[in-house]
């Protein structure tokens, strides 16, 4: 039947705006059960590469945005300002790439 397998993908959450995402490198532990656990990330700020660790994962979810599977980790870490800040790490499964979403 046509379109029957679409229901197996789960709901689509619309479009995820890329204008407030930055490219990051993430050191991630994969457990024997296949669970992803981000430990630290690196990002560029001008000519400097910042290492942000440790990362505390507050919540994780798996969503589809415009049909693209994304693992989203809501996290807290001490960023460049020296103050703990909440942010989201996004793992784009098909591209095998990480991005950070800094709200506000």
Length of the chain: 104
pLDDT in tens, 37-83: 999 999 988 899 989 999 999 999 998 888 888 999 999 998 767 88
Comparing 2-6, 72-76, 83-87, 90-94, the range with the smallest average pLDDT is 2-6
Using alpha carbons, select from 93, 103, 102 the residue that is nearest to residue 65: 93
d(C-alpha 100, C-alpha 12), whole Å: 20
Confidence of residue 1 (pLDDT cuts 50, 70, 90): very low
Q: What is the mean pLDDT of residues 6-28?
A: 68
Confidence of residue 7 (pLDDT cuts 50, 70, 90): very low
* Contacts of 37 by beta carbon, 8 Å cutoff, 6+ apart: 28, 29, 30, 31, 57
Confidence of residue 16 (pLDDT cuts 50, 70, 90): low
d(C-alpha 102, C-alpha 48), whole Å: 18
């Amino acid at each position: 039947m046509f379109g029957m397998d679409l229901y197996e993908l789960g709901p689509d959450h619309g479009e995820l705006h890329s204008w407030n995402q930055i490219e990051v490198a993430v050191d991630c532990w994969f457990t024997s059960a296949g669970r992803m656990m981000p430990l630290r990330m690196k990002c560029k700020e001008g000519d400097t590469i910042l290492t942000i660790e440790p990362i505390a994962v507050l919540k994780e979810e798996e969503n589809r945005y415009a049909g693209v599977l994304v693992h989203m980790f809501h996290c807290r870490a001490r960023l460049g300002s020296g103050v703990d800040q909440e942010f989201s790490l996004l793992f784009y499964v098909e591209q095998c790439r990480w991005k950070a979403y800094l709200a506000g």
